[in-house]
Structure 1
């Protein structure tokens, strides 16, 4: 495989890995936000405070 093609494959692999990492971060952040909203709603329901 030509040297340029090998370099391009490495770039594509790096971008794919970083994309997967960012997608996992977005999913984790979404779950954290949902849990915080649930916790906040639960606290409001139990003591009536904001």
Structure 2
């Protein structure tokens, strides 16, 4: 307990740690992209995290 732990109550219960691999990719139409691949038991899935300006 204590004040330092007040925001941690229930943290991690029923939740799994997200495993991701991050990459910088280049798209001819969009430029530099920040993407990640989710590493899970199922099929690999790719997501766009952001676009570099």
Range class of TM-score, shorter chain: under 0.3
More strand by proportion, 1 or 2? Answer: 2
Which structure would you say has the larger Rg? 1
Q: TM (normalized to structure 2)?
A: 0.23
Which structure has the higher relative contact order (CA within 8 Å, separation 6+)?
2
